[in-house]
Structure 1
Amino acid sequence: MHIASSYNIQQWCSFKKKHTTMVDQRKLESIIDCHTTVSHHQQPAIMENNQEQPSTEGSNGSHSSIITKINAGYFRICISAGAQALLWKSINQHHRTSNLHTIIATTSTVFWCLTLCTLVFLSLLYIMRCIFYFDLVKAECCHHVGMNYLFAPSISWLLLLESTPLFVFPDKHVYGYIWWLLIVPLLALDVKVYGQWFTAEKRFLSIMANPTIQISVIGNLVASLSSHVADETGWKEIRICLFTFGMTHYVVVFITLYQRLSGSNHIPSNLRPVFFLFVATPSMATLAWESINGSFDIICKMLFFLSLFLFVSLTSRPLLFKKSVRRFSVAWWAFSFPLTFLALASISYAQQVKGKATVGLAILLSGISVLVFISLFVCSILKIHLLVHKPTLIFSTSLGSTNV
């Protein structure tokens, strides 16, 4: 009896084992079938993405690809070109009696025409981006870096207006009307961005602070720089108002950037050339106050010395930019216009404080500025594919924006 029961137990265990094995096999087969089915459903999507990728490089999709990738950050090129045109115009004004006057005047006009063509082209592309891909523009507005570059188009046009040769608009009042058209979007952005720093809890300045935020300050300073709308048009008070906006927020931004917390929005290593904005802001403030005040006084000297100190501090730390210069990108253009603004300030300083040292400093900074601009311009032409199709910021409506 005991033997029979043991035999029955063994049979039952054997049957249970076989049944369990069969069930496991069926589960495994069902899992494999499901995986195969999912793979078959996903494979066309992957192939479709792979097929779409080359189409952006082809003739049919190249235009849409460029429009989706050209963001407001590309206007750094126009700011640099406009600053160079303004530099050569300043040199031309201080060397009217020189034998090189004709060459300098021609160079100034060439830079202005180059700035105009580049700015018109990029502006048309960005207008098309706003029309056909407005969701990308909204994503740009919500990004802690991309939002600040929305000031760049207005800055570019204001620099172009300031560097315009006198023969373009014989009537000086035309400058004033154009200037008003350019500062309207700038003031609208001021209300939007500065208001968020005070009222939006998730967008407080202490949270959003990064070096690119100084572009908003530079916009107000460039607007107050315009000498064409000085006392003869009766709008000097507006320029003082814009300068007040810029300098008030510059003090707040400067202190915030110096003591920003570890949890705040930092920038990736490939965007580190924007640290030169620390040089651009006080340099432009120097030029703006000189234009408003009419002389290079003690305030201008203090701002100029601050910008010179920050320039030396940055150039003494080349390892800070080691990763950012490994691959050419539009971020490199952040090196150019701050140096040009500093060179312009040094020229004004040399005119006020006569001496070989000040003149030598102005020549040195101007030479470095021109050399950097020409180098970046040549690199941009030789690596135009990398410049356009490898942006430093990619904005997406579904995944937000990512740095590359």
Structure 2
Amino acid sequence: MTTATALAAQEARLAHYPVTFFAIGMGMMGLTLALHAGETAFGRGPEVSQAVLLLSVALLALVAAGYLVKALLHPAAVEAEWHHPVRIAFFPAISISLLLLSVALLGTSPEAASFVWLAGTVLQGGLALSVIGAWIGHRPFSHAQLTPAWFIPAVGNVIVPIAGVPLGHPEIAWLFFSGGLVFWIVLLTLVINRLMFHDPLPGRMVPTLMILVAPPAVSFIAWLKLTGDVGPFGHILLSVAYVFALIVVTQTTKFARMPFALSWWALSFPLAALTIASFAYAAEAASEPHRLIGAGLLALLVLVVSGLLLRTVLGIWRHEICRPE
């Protein structure tokens, strides 16, 4: 293959560089925060989580740089993703990654955390409103186009309070939490209806079932930040997250038959959120069983993310990713 041909092939792949790559940023930031929660729960130093934070930031920057180049060279391809009924929901993964980064920076650099949180919150608000507006103003959707990935904009809203409250922005935190919670409930009804009464999810979208776990798990963490107490509603949120996790477990035999795709990264962040929520409840209620649940989930999370990283690198090497669908 000549140099010119290789460059042409590389640019063609760039046009198919998917916005779903930002799910890697969510997963890695989730792993960072879960490791930090585990270190705190077991009285360990932050060395491991800080090292993973550096790796997470590097990967997020790499993903963002790739998508920025795509936006500059292939704006029509970005517009096509925005109008795609499934991929549009992944655009808020950009702002979610920033919001998670702000949480990770709280303990070491509050000034940087404040700047990143503000940028992530503004972007999250704009993207959430734009996505919902696109849903409302779009042609009628079919049930086949509705997947758990539609929860992503709502999840982004309930992440805002996690750093927003410690940084001194409770009113903004309540605003985003309330909006995210309401849209989660609305979308939950639609998604459950689609899963039960219509065709099964297509193969590559099956891992997105794990996203069912993220809204209640993240909402529980945000609820603790907003109220400082678990309370009955907090118990409901955490319990619902566990129930959805068990429902996903019943579907794991399907996962083994599915070929790898970037949608597999949907396993990472919800699992991280459930891990952090378990450790948070353990600390709040002095519950040793929940601390052990958190430890088990953290071990599983490390294995899952390690496997996803290796499989993603292999997929890029084999040119299995960034191909036309």
Structure 1 residues 243 and 392: alpha-carbon distance in aligned structure 2, compared to 1, 3 A threshold: farther
Partner of 1:46: none
Give 1:322 shift.
4.0
Q: Which residue is equivalent to 1:185?
A: 123
Give the 3-state SS of the residue equivalent to 1:390 in structure 2.
coil
Unaligned runs of 5+ in 1: 1-53, 395-401
Whether contact under 8 Å (1:290, 1:297) holds in the other structure is no
The alignment of Structure 1 onto Structure 2 pairs a total of residues equal to 325
CA contact (8 A) 1:83 1:337 kept: yes
CA contact (8 A) 2:204 2:260 kept: no
Q: Give secondary structure in 2 for the equivalent of 1:60.
A: helix
Comparing 173-182 and 368-377, the one that deviates more: 173-182
- In structure 1, what is the equivalent of residue 63 of structure 2? 122
How do 1:236-385 residues align onto structure 2 when only pairs under 5 Å count? 236-260=170-194, 267-324=201-258, 327-385=259-317
Q: Residue 142 of structure 1: CA displacement?
A: 0.8
Asked if the contact 1:283–1:345 (Cα under 8 Å) also holds between the matched residues in 2, the reply is yes
Larger radius of gyration: 1
Indicate conservation of the 8 Å contact 1:287/1:345, yes or no.
yes
- Which deviations, in whole Å up to 9, do the C-alpha atoms of 1:92-124 show, x marking residues without a partner? 3334xx4xx23xx11011110011100111101
User: Residue 98 of structure 2 contacts residue 117 of structure 2 at CA under 8 Å; is this kept in 1?
Assistant: no
Alignment match of 2:11 (pick from 55, 59, 64): 64
2: CA distance between counterparts of 1:265 and 1:149?
22
SS state of the match for residue 295, structure 1? coil
Task: Kindly indicate whether the alpha-carbon contact (under 8 Å) linking 1:301 and 1:349 is maintained by their aligned counterparts in 2.
Answer: no
Match of 1:108 among 40, 44, 49: 49
* Alignment match, 1:13: none
- Indicate if the aligned counterparts of 1:196 and 1:203 stay in contact, CA closer than 8 A: no
SS at match of 2:286: coil
Q: TM-score, normalised by structure 1?
A: 0.73
Cα distance, 1:112–1:334 mapped onto 2, change above 3 Å: same
Q: 2:214·2:273 contact (CA, 8 Å) conserved in 1?
A: yes
Paired with 2:215 and 2:15, the residues of 1 have a C-alpha distance of 30
Asked whether the equivalents of residues 99 and 116 of structure 2 are also in contact (C-alpha less than 8 Å), the reply is: no
Calculate the aligned-residue CA RMSD, in Å.
Answer: 2.7
In structure 2, distance between residues paired with 1:274 and 1:358 = 25
Tell me how far apart the structure 2 counterparts of residues 302 and 353 of structure 1 sit (CA, whole Å): 15
| Cα distance change of structure 1 residues 201 and 128 upon mapping to structure 2, 3 Å threshold | closer
Asked if the contact 1:56/1:65 (under 8 Å) is kept, the reply is no
1:225 aligns with 2:225: no
Other-structure match for 1:84: 31
Answering whether residue 151 of structure 2 is matched by residue 214 of structure 1, we say yes
Percent of aligned pairs with the same amino acid:
21
Relative to structure 1, the CA distance from residue 232 to residue 186 in structure 2 (aligned partners, 3 Å threshold; closer, same or farther) is closer
Contact 1:283/1:303 (<8 A) preserved: yes
Aligned AA for 2:257? Answer: K
Amino acid at match of 1:83: G
CA distance in 2, matches of 1:302, 1:55: 61
Q: Offset of 1:127 from its aligned partner?
A: 0.8
CA contact (8 A) 2:213 2:274 kept: yes
**Does the aligned pair in 2 maintain the 1:79–1:159 contact within 8 Å?**
yes
More relative contact order in 1 or in 2 (CA 8 Å, sep 6+)?
2
C-alpha deviation, 1:283, in angstroms: 0.8
Between 181-190 and 117-126, the greater mean CA deviation after superposition: 181-190
1:192-236: CA deviations, max 9, x gaps?
2222444x261469785321100111111122321xx32653x21
CA positional deviation for 1:297 = 2.5
Q: Distance in 1 between matches of 2:278 and 2:286?
A: 12
TM-superposed deviation, 1:347: 0.8
CA contact (8 A) 2:151 2:215 kept: yes
- Alignment-derived partner of residue 90 in structure 2: 149
Q: Distance in 2 between matches of 1:365 and 1:273?
A: 17
1:94 to 30, 41, 44: 41
The AA in structure 2 aligned to 1:340 is A
